[in-house]
């Protein structure tokens, strides 16, 4: 699209990054199912490999279909660039990769998806990295956890599984004062409900598997670069500020300026880690994003109605949906998540663990799957599945205790979903 008018979200989710195919005039973005691209001549090839010219070399690095998706997500998030990869977990590692080194740590929220907690508490140790987990509502604790080896603060905008909403601006101010980036996982909110960069985030990560695709067909991840961080300010990020031997001493921040992180993610991250998104997956996600705002409005409307019904039901101990007036996060939703608190939350069933298992088994419309953000309504008992590897203390801190189930509310008829929950609760608490 041209640099002329400022377009609205609904227009950008359909058009950003996409142009009619120059060879055929095809209006929908083609699936460029190819591994390699013919160079014009030897000088063109050399310029591409020297990062002196932007173009396509090999699909582990760049692909035209994926490039459209990268531009679209970056535009919707208000970033300068983006790098797509094979999954949300890949996006998290790719986001940390240029920042960390042996002995470095990341300060992370305790309220994270269980797989992320495991990745940060166990897997990244193999790189010599570590994570400090803190309650990000306790700003003093966040401040205290940051030390000279901290290279980032990491949180989720709307936390999985509990649906808790994060005060992004407050965390951004702390990270700025420490001279480190704030990384926000915006999977559950999507840029339709929240644009973390507007609240001070440096990097935004997504599992595009979820709401962006919206149909449960493909996995994918994305890292969006705000372009606003000074990677050369304090010597903490040599991968971006110091000479890169693999490119004859090129300095990414000096050479690419605001796009330094994005170019590093492609030229180093995808080149060496190989966490590539395939063009088929990019195509499905592009199709999903075209209806993102429409779906998110319905997700939120349904979630609000169902959460209110659950909260009023005597068989339920509590509901964590931040859109409820009773939620301690309700004022934060009004300030930072003006279009709604998403469609992901938990509720505790009277009867504890056993009642939760019976509930899951009795549901007919809700699907019992380890996913979220689908057009279909989904449910899972986190303590026995996604958060099973965590300690009981970690499960409680993450909002995934044994008596709690997580729901991802879809776009079906809300009354049908309520009826399904009602009949299943009757069986679970009989």
CA 289 – CA 74 distance, rounded (Å): 12
Q: How many CA atoms lie within 13 A of 90 on its CB side?
A: 20
pTM: 0.94
Residue 248: what pLDDT?
92
- In the prediction, which pLDDT does 1 show? 56
pLDDT value at position 5? Answer: 63
Spell out the CATH class of 10-288.
Answer: alpha beta
Rounded CA separation 322/319 (Å)? 9
Per-residue pLDDT of the chain (430 residues; tens, 9 = 90+): 555 568 999 999 999 999 998 889 999 999 999 999 999 999 999 999 999 999 999 999 999 999 999 999 999 999 999 999 999 999 999 999 999 999 999 999 999 988 899 999 999 999 999 999 999 999 999 999 999 999 999 999 999 888 999 999 999 999 999 999 999 999 999 999 999 999 999 999 999 999 999 999 999 999 999 999 999 999 999 999 999 999 999 999 999 999 999 999 999 999 999 999 999 999 999 999 999 999 999 999 999 999 999 999 999 999 999 999 999 999 999 988 999 999 999 999 999 999 999 999 999 999 999 899 999 999 999 888 766 777 777 777 777 788 999 999 999 999 999 999 999 999 999 8
Sheet harboring 404-408: ordered strands across? Answer: 316-319, 344-349, 404-408, 378-380, 367-368
Residue 300 backbone dihedrals phi, psi, to 5 degrees:
-65, -45
Angle at 140 between CA 136 and CA 141, to 5 degrees: 55
Domain ranges in the chain with CATH number 3.90.1150.10 = 292-428
So what's the pLDDT on residue 3?
53
Q: What is residue 385's predicted lDDT score, i.e. its pLDDT?
A: 76
Residue 173 burial by CB count (10 A; 0-12/13-18/19+): exposed, middle or buried? Answer: middle
Which residues belong to CATH 3.40.640.10 in the chain? 10-288
Q: Strands, DSSP E only, in 212-310? A: 221-225
Give the CATH number of domain 292-428: 3.90.1150.10
* pLDDT tens per residue across span 379-423: 999 888 766 777 777 777 777 788 999 999 999 999 999 999 999
Per the document, the length of the chain is 430
CA distance 218 to 216: 6
């Amino acid at each position: 699209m041209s640099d002329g008018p400022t377009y609205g979200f609904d227009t950008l989710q359909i058009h950003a990054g996409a142009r009619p195919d120059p060879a055929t005039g095809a209006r929908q973005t083609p699936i460029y199912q190819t591994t390699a691209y013919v160079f014009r001549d030897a000088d063109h090839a050399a310029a591409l490999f020297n990062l002196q010219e932007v173009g396509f070399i090999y699909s582990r690095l760049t692909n035209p279909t994926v490039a459209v998706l990268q531009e679209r997500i970056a535009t919707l998030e208000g970033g300068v660039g983006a790098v797509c990869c094979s999954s949300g977990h890949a996006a998290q590692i790719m986001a940390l990769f240029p920042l960390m080194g042996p002995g470095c740590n990341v300060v992370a929220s305790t309220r994270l998806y269980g797989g992320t907690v495991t990745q940060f508490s166990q897997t990244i140790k193999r790189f010599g990295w570590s994570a400090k987990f803190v309650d990000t509502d306790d700003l003093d604790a966040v401040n205290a956890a940051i030390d000279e080896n901290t290279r980032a603060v990491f949180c989720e905008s709307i936390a999985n599984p509990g649906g808790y909403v994060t005060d992004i601006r407050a965390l951004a101010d702390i990270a700025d004062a420490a001279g480190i980036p704030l990384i926000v996982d915006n999977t559950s909110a999507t840029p339709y409900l929240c644009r973390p960069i507007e609240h001070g985030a440096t990097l935004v990560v997504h599992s595009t598997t979820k709401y962006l695709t919206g149909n449960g067909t493909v996995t994918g991840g994305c890292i969006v670069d705000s372009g606003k961080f000074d990677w050369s300010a304090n010597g903490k990020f040599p991968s971006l500020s110091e000479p890169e031997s693999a490119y004859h001493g090129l300095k990414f921040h000096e050479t690419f300026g605001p796009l330094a992180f994005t170019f590093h993610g492609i030229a180093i991250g995808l080149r060496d880690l190989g966490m590539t998104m395939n063009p088929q997956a990019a195509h499905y996600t592009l199709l999903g994003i075209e209806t993102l705002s429409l779906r998110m409005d319905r997700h939120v409307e349904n979630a609000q109605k169902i959460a209110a019904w659950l909260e009023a039901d005597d068989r339920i101990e509590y509901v964590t949906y931040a859109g409820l007036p009773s939620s301690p996060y309700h004022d934060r939703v009004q300030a930072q998540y003006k279009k709604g608190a998403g469609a992901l939350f938990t509720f505790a069933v009277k009867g504890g663990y056993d009642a939760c298992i019976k509930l899951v088994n009795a549901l007919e419309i809700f699907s019992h799957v380890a996913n979220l953000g689908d057009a279909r309504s989904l449910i899972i008992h986190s303590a026995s599945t996604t958060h099973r590897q965590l300690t009981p203390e970690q499960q409680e801190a993450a909002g995934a205790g044994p008596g709690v189930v997580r729901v991802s509310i879809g776009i079906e008829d809300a009354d049908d979903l309520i009826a399904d929950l009602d009949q299943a609760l009757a069986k679970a608490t009989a």
